[in-house]
Structure 1
Amino acid sequence: MRWQGRRGSGNIEDRRGMGRAGAGGIGIVGMLAVLAFGYFFGIDISPVVRELDQGQPQANAPLSERDQQYGQFVSVVLADTEEVWAAILPQQAGRDYADPRLVLYSGVVQSACGGASAAMGPFYCPNDQKIYLDTDFFDLMAQKMGAGGDFAYAYVIAHEVGHHVQNLVGTLGQVNAARGRMDEARSNRLSVLTELQADCYAGIWARQADQRFGTLEEGDLQEAARAAHAVGDDVIQSNAGRTPMPDSFTHGSAEQRQEWLMRGYRSGDMRQCDTFSQAGL
């Protein structure tokens, strides 16, 4: 992925080093509270975070050179999403785009949706229109999930920006209201459709970023596809030693996530990302 030397976003809040902690720092009770919080549409990686650092919190730890590079990378990718969606949303949805802010944190974080830990993976909070990301997640993708690579990491950011787009057009509000009236199985199904649409929006971003900035290099789409596969509910459940149970899926299967990512990339059209009508809703 070509990203060096380009504009970074001014919408970054870097809270890393403000009391770093491993994902285990909040304990199992805190982790379960995070997983139960209905607003979080992040990537639930809790079955694979058990091998994350269990160290004690360290106040005001300095950022490593790798942390600093990740911060620069995230800033450039976020800037790219700002330019792409500022053009696409008025054209395709008749709405102006409002930039989200992206919070970089380490271990645990407070948001307008409540407290969260790195165990939840990256997430978007509609209450404050912010994306929350612990950049250690990128190392986890590479080392434990077989999904490393800068464009794979960019896909993760673009997916969360996709949730912001859903919030701006009103989709998230409708979904959250509807899920509150449903049983668990139907609520999970609606969550899956929401996540797959965000994947599709990430694909639209990938197409536009390549056209505008020449972002893609050989193998980049394969990196993103591997990442989409790695965060499929069936893959995560299988890696945790459980039999995949479709009724419990909240993000979609590996095949579905790859399919909708590529649908967005091939079409570049938000209308082709209507997962809800495809499901008969």
Structure 2
Amino acid sequence: MRWRGRRQSSNVEDRRGQSGAPGGFGRSGRPMQIPIGRGVGGGGLSGIVILVVLFFVLRACGIDPLQILEGGSGPANPQVTQDEAPGSQPSDAEAQFVSVVLAETEDVWNGIFQAEGQTYTEPRMVLFTDQVRSACGFASAASGPFYCPGDSRVYIDLGFFRELSQRFGASGDFAQAYVIAHEVGHHVQNLIGVLPEFNRQRQTMGQAEANRMSMRVELQADCFAGIWAHFTAQKGLLEDGDIEEAMNAAHQIGDDTLQRRTQGYVVPESFNHGTSEQRATWFANGLRNGRLADCDTFNNPI
């Protein structure tokens, strides 16, 4: 990806080296359950299906669904506590890269929302080491990158990218960009009301039903990442092999591939992010035309 010399986002908080949680809750500790982005549950199609259908219908009619959903999604401008105060802007190349990727997602989603007469509220990205405190609770780096709808922030320990390459065989800068774009996709879901409805419904769901709905939420975020890649390609920022890197990353972190690697067998009823094929397919759906309508995982087979 041609990223050097491009604008860096001003929405990055560098908390690396800060103490994020008490008790030495480090990389080998048991991760917290984060409401969305990693290890989520979900289920019960009806409410989310209706909401997504309404979103696309209202957009087509020139009505702003964000105004209708106001108050139902996570806080657009959350209060920043002392623990959440922004850190210094990153100066190392690895952090500068993710800052540029975040800036590129801002450009794409601002453009998409503006084209519909809407305003895109940009998320913040928090860089941390080993452990972090968010509005969703304490988490360790073992949780992996995650999005917290409670404070509209994407959290990532950059060590995850080394693990992605060395342990999971998904190397390359665009594989990393795909991960960031996926988490930003959850932020878009939060803005349009998908996440609030999902989190409301799953309180009354059984685990199997919750897992099925979680897959649809996660695959839509993959599709939104594909939309970002579509417009990034149009800007001439992609290099040979970039799309292949993203597709490989999507494949390597599919539930079935991960389970085979870690335990030697798969348990389909426990899937909550999607299979390797599903994740790559929905990323490709967004990439193909860059249209939100191609990312309706709730009304189409997955």
Gaps of 5+ in 2: 41-89
Q: Secondary structure at the match of 1:172?
A: helix
Paired residues of 1:42 and 1:160 also in contact (CA < 8 A): no
Cα distance in 2 for residues equivalent to 1:191 and 1:67: 36
Over residues 25-44 of structure 1, what are the superposed CA-to-partner deviations in whole Å (9 max), with x where a residue is unaligned? 52799515x1x34x132279
Matched, 1:236 2:258: yes
Counterpart in the other structure of 2:142: 119
Residue from 258, 269, 279 that aligns with 2:291: 269
CA contact (8 A) 1:67 1:135 kept: no
Tell me, in whole angstroms, the C-alpha distance in 2 between the residues paired with 1:154 and 1:145.
16
Alignment-derived partner of residue 71 in structure 1: 95
CA–CA distance in structure 2, aligned partners of residues 197 and 120 of structure 1: 20
Matched, 1:194 2:231: no
In structure 1, C-alpha distance between the alignment counterparts of 2:221 and 2:275, rounded to whole Å? 14
- 1:87: which partner in 2? 111
Aligned partner of 1:159: which letter? Answer: H
Change (3 A) 1:43 1:6: farther
Residues 223 and 29 of structure 1, relative CA distance in 2, 3 Å threshold: closer
Asked if residue 210 in structure 1 is aligned to residue 233 in structure 2, the reply is: yes
5+ residue gaps, structure 1: 45-65
Q: Which residue identity lines up with residue 81 of structure 1 in the other structure? A: T
In the other structure, the counterpart of 2:66 is: none
Cross-structure match for 2:84: none
Query: How far, CA to CA, are the matches of 1:117 and 1:202 in structure 2?
Result: 24
Aligned pairs (5 A) from 1:95-244: 95-212=118-235, 214-244=236-266
CA shift at 1:154, angstroms?
Answer: 0.3
Partners of 1:43 and 1:121 within 8 A in 2: no
SS class of match (2:138): strand
Give 2:276's aligned amino acid: A
Residue 87 of structure 1: how far off its partner (Å): 0.6
Counterparts of 2:159 and 2:27, CA distance in 1: 19
Which residue, out of 272, 275, 278, partners 1:250?
Answer: 272
Is contact 1:188-1:250 (8 Å) kept? yes
Cα distance in 1, alignment partners of residues 227 and 220 from structure 2 = 11
* TM-score normalised by structure 1 residue count: 0.84
Q: Tell me how far 1:237 sits from its aligned partner.
A: 0.8
**SS of the residue aligned with 2:112?**
helix
Tell me if the contact between 2:129 and 2:157 (Cα under 8 Å) persists in the aligned partners.
yes
Quickly say closer, same or farther: Cα 1:234–1:25, change in 2 above 3 A: farther
Partner Cα distance (1:245, 1:231) in 2: 15
Question: How high is the TM-score relative to the length of structure 2?
Answer: 0.79
CA drift of 1:90 comes to 3.4
SS at match of 2:226: helix
Question: What's the offset of the Cα at 1:84?
Answer: 0.5
CA distance in structure 1 between the aligned counterparts of 2:120 and 2:137, rounded to whole angstroms = 25
Secondary structure, counterpart of 1:198 in structure 2 = helix
Equivalent position of 1:278 in the other structure = 300
The whole-number CA distance in structure 2 between the counterparts of 1:20 and 1:109 is: 4
Segments of 4+ moved more than 4 angstroms: 27-30
Query: What RMSD, in angstroms, separates the aligned Cα atoms of the two structures?
Result: 2.3
1:109-154 C-alpha deviation (Å, 9 max, x unpaired): 0000000011111000000000000000011111111001000000
> Identity across aligned pairs (percent)?
52
More helix per residue: 1
| Aligned partner of residue 102 in structure 1, secondary structure | strand
Aligned to 2:30, the other structure's residue is in SS state helix
